[in-house]
Amino acid sequence: MRSQVINLTVNGTERELLAKPGTTLLGALRDGLGLTAAKRGCAQGGCGACTVVVNGAAVPSCLIPVEVADGATVETLEGMASGQHLTPLQQAFVDGFATQCGFCTSGMLMSASALLAENPAPTRDEVAVAISGNVCRCTGYAAIIDAILDAADRTRAVGSAAAD
Amino acid sequence: MATTKHMSPIDTGYFSDERAAAFDVVGTPAPRSDARGHVTGQTQYFEDVAYPGMAHLKMHRSARHHALVKGVDTSAAETTPGVLRVITHRDVPNNWYTILRLIGVQPDDEPVLAEDRVLYLGEPIVAVVAETEAIAREAAAKVRVDYEDLPAVLDVEEALKPETIVVNPKHGHNYFTYEGHHCRRIRFGDVERGFAEAPHRFTHTYQSAPIEHAPVEPTGCVVKPEADVRLKIHSDTQACYFTLDNTALILGVPFNRLRVIGGTVGGGFGGKVDVMVEPIACIAAQLTNRPVKYVYERAEEMQVSSPRAAERITIDDGVTDDGRIIARKVTILVDAGAYSRHSPYGTTKAAAHMPGPYTIPNVWVDAHCVYTNRTPSSAMRGFGVTIADFALESQMDRIARALDIDPIVIRLRNAYRDGDMKAHRKEVEGAALVEVMQKAADLVGHDLPADCRAMSSTHREAR
């Protein structure tokens, strides 16, 4: 089998890469494009460290053959902050001590960002369901859920202030 | 030798300028220095490092719990297109892990790559270095090992029977030797006299299973040969100097030939202390003169990385009518697996810990570090004392229930106080245990009788 040219819109920029058969979206991002925020934890869809947002949905990128994502819009953690300016979600993780070793953080933030884009005012249970595919072995789940709820509040506060 | 309490007061003159500073950090939140890197994806873990021409290492591992290795055929692996090098024990300059030599524990008992025998399922035998991970994986699977099976010893009590086959020939028997003794022993007071005086006797056995750390980031490293012939090691080790020293000893090179870049660990919990990947990756980098990545697959992380040891603990207590333990006899069997790693040290910790935070006048402990054909166990969060505490506090609850005593009251009656001598001959200092339990009882609205309320860690009330 021959390599294929794959086109992706990654964090708003059109990217083109040559992918050998068997290349996953995670491999294409990390090894092909040098975007290493998405992590390889288990390479079998069990830990969520590789979570990115594809066409608006949080997915484990280690399970997606990159050919399937050809033409898709992909968001990774590298595209979340604008310059040095953190989003309310990122700032809530910093302020709420929702990071420990940091290895799950990228996947947690991508799952959370897909949730908040679809549901700006989630309940605690909805947040827990949204990150249920993301393993934090430091077991910091309570702080992570608190931070995501805090981010939703901060975003709504900014939105209502803008509307005034 | 002077003890802490006889030392003169600490001279703080050197810090007199700092004393003028505000010192207001304690009690106020300070942001984590690494949080911004974590939330922006800029934190660099070892696997985020990539070099042009980087090769990949995969391991062929033992398919047996216990066997002699009669032959190893690497020809099919060597002729697989894309394979750069096949590495056996003959390529390892000093084929012994030396992790414990560094803290004064001997003997070295574990090869880097297996030689004439394998002692556990998943033991590394042959390393394959290839252009891609997939090729390395495929070629490693093509290695053929001719085994002669030996009986597998999978139970600690079975291991200690005289007729059982010896697991690790470096020890000559299935236990670690502590200063000439077959176990780590604590002897304090006269436990038999204590039992004779005790109206109640409680004997229970507690068993734990091995526990895997399961860090989300697998164990691994990237090694890059540098222009100055040094090897640069990007590692997720929890112990950079263990990695540096152990790798240098195995390679037979001066320490300054290695440069370890670490400190960013994607979850460790004790599981990334044993230095299992860096030495062989360094050898691969030397032999191929290429940057080499060696990272565990998730299945390897679960199967071969060292878990918390399984422990079997029997506690035999002699107790008075009012719940005071006056004699305690304990036997601990720690399943070290096939090799020592940190288990001899963990077993010593378990022995010292066995009275628990209680003052017991007569204590007898035999703590055995036992070799079996299981995955070698090693460090994990408080190892040695964690499972001991599960056993100890379960035992306290059982005694309390049997004698119909409040479980907090029975702990207060036995609690150690400042100045008490512990069974391993350390005097208790700064205990505060009584006050912590009193406060905890307050916080949950639990009434304590007046005699318990009057207790103090700093002075023992008259009885």
Q: What is the DSSP string of B2-30?
A: --GGGSPPP--GGGHHHHTS----TTS--
Among A121, A43, A112, A118, which residue's Cα sits nearest to residue A80?
Answer: A112
Integer Cα distance of B378 and B75 in angstroms: 35
pLDDT tens-place string over residues A76-113 = 999 999 989 999 999 999 999 999 999 999 999 999 99
Residue B261 has pLDDT above 90, yes or no: yes
Assigned token pair, B158: 């079975």
User: How far apart (Å, rounded) are the C-alpha atoms in residues B130 and B81?
Assistant: 9
pLDDT in tens, B275-324: 999 999 999 999 999 999 999 999 999 999 999 999 999 999 999 999 99
User: B356's torsion region: left (phi>0), alpha (psi -120 to 50) or beta?
Assistant: left
Taking the C-alpha atoms of residue B141 and residue B158, their distance in angstroms, rounded to an integer, is: 33
Say whether A94 and B45 touch across the interface (CB within 8 A): no
CB atoms within 10 A of CB A73: 14
Question: What does DSSP assign to residue B367?
Answer: E
| Residue range B375-425, pLDDT digits in tens | 999 999 999 999 999 999 999 999 999 999 999 999 999 999 999 999 999
The distance from CA B81 to its chain's CA centroid, rounded to whole angstroms, is: 40
Closest Cα in chain B to A31: B50
pLDDT bucket at B8, cuts 50 / 70 / 90: low
Beta bridge partners of B71: B146
Say whether pLDDT at A144 is over 70.
yes
Determine contact, residues A32/A70, Cβ cutoff 8 Å.
Answer: no
As a whole number, mean pLDDT of residues B197-210 equals: 98
User: CA nearest B134 in A: which residue?
Assistant: A22
pLDDT digits (tens, 9 = 90+) for B94-134: 999 987 787 788 899 999 999 999 999 999 999 999 999 99
DSSP string, B196-248: HH-SEEEEEEEE---B----SSPSEEEEEE-TTS-EEEEE--S-HHHHHHHHH
A93 contact residues in B (CB cutoff 8 A) = 35, 38-39
Q: Which residues of B touch A34 (CB under 8 A)?
A: 50
Please tell me whether the interface predicted TM-score (ipTM) of this complex is above 0.90: yes
Q: What is the pTM of this model?
A: 0.93
Q: Could you tell me which of B294, B285, B320, B338 has the C-alpha nearest to residue B57?
A: B294
**CB contact at 8 A, B135 and B124:** no
Which DSSP string corresponds to B245-266?
HHHHHHHT--GGGEEEE----S
A46 interfacial to chain B (CB closer than 8 Å): yes
Compute the distance between CA of residue A102 and CA of residue A138 in angstroms, rounded to an integer: 9
Answer for the pair B306, B376: CB distance below 8 angstroms, yes or no: yes
Contact (CB<8Å) A137/B269:
yes
The tokens describing B113, both together, are 């790559």
Alpha-carbon distance B249 to B95, whole Å?
Answer: 10
